[in-house]
Amino acid sequence: MHSFRYVGQELYCEEVPVSSLAKKHGTPLFVYSQTTLADHFQRLDSALAPLDHLICFAMKSNSNLAVIRTFAELGGGFDTVSAGEIQRVVAAGGDPSKCVFAGVGKTEEEIAFALKQGIYSFNVESEAELARISRVAVRLKKIAPVAVRVNPNVDAHTHAKITTGTYENKFGIQFEHIEAVYARAAKLPNLRLRGLQMHIGSQLTDVEPFRKAVEKVAPLVSRLNARHGFDFFSIGGGLGIVYRDALASGSPAWWKTPEGRKILTPQSYADTLVPLLKPLGLRILLEPGRFLSGNAGVLVTRVEYIKKTGKKNFVIVDAAMNDLIRPAFYDSFHEIVTVRRKGGAKVSSDVVGPVCESGDYFAKDRPLPKVGEGDYLALLSAGAYGSVMGSNYNSRALPAEVMVKGRKSALVRRRQEIPEIWGNESVASWQGR
Ligand code: LLP
């Protein structure tokens, strides 16, 4: 469920017309609905009520301080992947003791920082990392809570760039090696073997791969728990969202694919997994990112030009691949709607940005209402892996971000000033001033 809908002819975010935000703050502009963020969290939280659980928001999907604060206030924890992300949690008033720290390349400095912050657990990706965490913990006279990430070798059938649960990729430790790794880890000083973690991939719209992975890993968790005295099992993130028909998914008919197939819901996820997880008697951690933030955000952009060629109708907008890279990078589909509802025949259009790359597009051959210069468009489902993957490519300033709650709206990231882009650069000393 989300809070973007037409009221009359106008697209609203909750009770605020999106056009008023675009006029006030300029475009490109990310708009987030706080009610939607909270709604997604609470749906998942209540579906999992039969389990002792902690939802750790994968903040790599959206790390705006206001978004972090929203989940912190709901009692959530955070799945972090760098010292920078842990610092963001602290800056947003979140609790580092509810942070898990994942990633294959943690540096000594990052490990030391996380230990000093008293994080919940390291999600460890290799034996070399276990040894390093132990060494740093000894030096700092701390006990490091760790969970090894198991790679269950279950194919999540998702996009090649976001699948993680098979032996083809760099994540986790092979299922068959895990017990031996824990046995060796138990001999390392200053480690507390606190749990086991897994994550099989992202944008999973079917519960089956989750069921397969949990069924495969749960007996391993039981055995390890008996030996090492665990207190949690993290089943990762990956819950998928509706990208096609995203606007319609805000209505009660949500969670249907264009073919009308129902996709994973918090309830179907819980109904499948709770019976498998409950008997473990452990706290269950989750690391959803996209599910919580994806459909809670849109990217608003203005049409700059219409350019017709022999073959194409190009709608050139002021947002670009540097603001939302998903279409260019993964060929992802993002629904595009006009901020002012338009009737009439649809025109097959390519929506493109101003960046000097053919890959700088948001849609190809997409039937869209006829639009003209100055019209606002909204790219839906841009709340996850949107702003966070932004760059200054072509010396384009990072866009502003607004959060809406009911009738209120707040600028939660001001637009970057252009000189800030090179603010930390200088010419070499021998080049003069
Ligand atoms: N846990 C781990 C260990 C992860 O690697 C990820 C995502 C998550 C949780 C959260 O996954 P989610 O619930 O959001 O699916 N940039 C790509 C997605 C990359 C996902 C990376 N890992 C995209 O735009 O689709």
Task: Give pLDDT tens digits for 89-106.
Answer: 999 999 999 999 999 999
The single residue listed with the structure tokens 């990217």 is 299
Q: Can you tell me whether residue 67 is helix, strand or coil?
A: helix
Render pLDDT for 67-95 as a digit per residue (tens, 0 to 9).
Answer: 999 999 999 999 999 999 999 999 999 99
Q: Are residues 196 and 69 in the same domain?
A: yes
Instruction: Give the pLDDT score at 130.
Output: 98
Q: How far apart are alpha carbons 362 and 298 in whole angstroms? A: 13
Residue with tokens 């948001």: 362
Rounded Cα distance, 164 and 359, in Å: 25
Pocket test of ligand 1: the residue of 162, 197, 202 to mutate, having most ligand atoms within 8 Å of its CB, is: 202
Q: Within 10 A of 350 (CB to CB), how many other CB atoms are there?
A: 19
CA-CA-CA-CA dihedral for 197, 198, 204, 210, to nearest 10:
-90
How far are the Cα atoms of 125, 136, 144, 193, 227 from residue 189, in angstroms, in the given order?
18, 10, 9, 11, 17
Q: How far is the CA of 386 from the centre of ligand 1 (A)?
A: 12
- Same domain (yes/no): 163, 299: no
Which atom of ligand 1 is closest in space to residue 290's alpha carbon? 14
CA distances from 431 to 204, 421, 427 (A): 53, 20, 6
- Note the pLDDT of residue 244: 87
Domain CATH code at residue 288: 3.20.20.10
- pLDDT at res. 249: 73
371 lines ligand 1 (CB under 6 A): no
365 and 243 share one domain? no
Mark whether 13 is an active-site residue.
Answer: no
The pLDDT value recorded for residue 168 is 63
Q: Is 178 inside a domain boundary?
A: yes
Q: Note whether 134 and 245 are same-domain residues.
A: yes
Please give the full DSSP string across 145-195, using - where no structure is assigned.
Answer: EEEEEEE--------GGGB-SSTTSSSSEEGGGHHHHHHHHTTSTTEEEEE
Residue 382 domain-assigned (yes or no): yes
Task: Work out which ligand 1 atom sits closest to the CA atom of 159.
Answer: 25
Strand 144-151 relative to strand 283-286, pairing: unpaired
- Burial bucket for residue 96 (CB in 10 Å: 0-12, 13-18, 19+): buried
pLDDT of residue 166: 63
165 lines ligand 1 (CB under 6 A): no
- Measured in Å, residue 287 CA sits from the centre of ligand 1 at 9
| Ranges of residues in the chain whose predicted pLDDT is under 70 | 1, 157-168, 250-262
pLDDT at 245: 79
Considering the domain architecture, whether residues 286 and 303 belong to the same structural domain is answered as no
pLDDT at 252: 44
| Bridge-based pairing state of the strands 313-317 and 336-338 | unpaired
What is the C-alpha to C-alpha distance for residues 287 and 236, in angstroms, rounded to an integer? 5
Look up the CATH number of the domain holding residue 358: 2.40.37.10
Assess contact for 100 and 78: CB atoms under 8 A.
yes
Domain limits for position 404 = 295-414
> Which of these, 257, 144, 165, lies nearest to 210 by C-alpha position?
165
Calculate the CA 321 to chain-centre distance: 18
Domain edge (last residue) among 293, 319, 341: 293
**Tokens at 391, concatenated:** 């760059």
Same domain, 44 and 76: yes
User: Tokens standing for 413?
Assistant: 């990231």
* Six token digits for residue 115: 């230990």
Token pair recorded at residue 139: 């030096």
The alpha helices in 255-300, defined as continuous H runs, are 266-277, 290-293
Establish if 301 belongs to a structural domain: yes
Please report whether residue 151 resides in a domain.
Answer: yes
**pLDDT value of residue 48:** 98
> Is 323 in contact with 28 (CB distance < 8 Å)?
yes
Distance CA 128, CA 125 (A): 9
Same-domain check for residues 361 and 219: no
If asked whether residues 198 and 160 sit together in one domain, one would say: yes
Question: Which atom of ligand 1 is the closest one to the Cα of 385?
Answer: 24
Domain count, the chain: 2
The pLDDT tens digits of the residues spanning 294-316 come to: 999 999 999 999 999 999 999 99
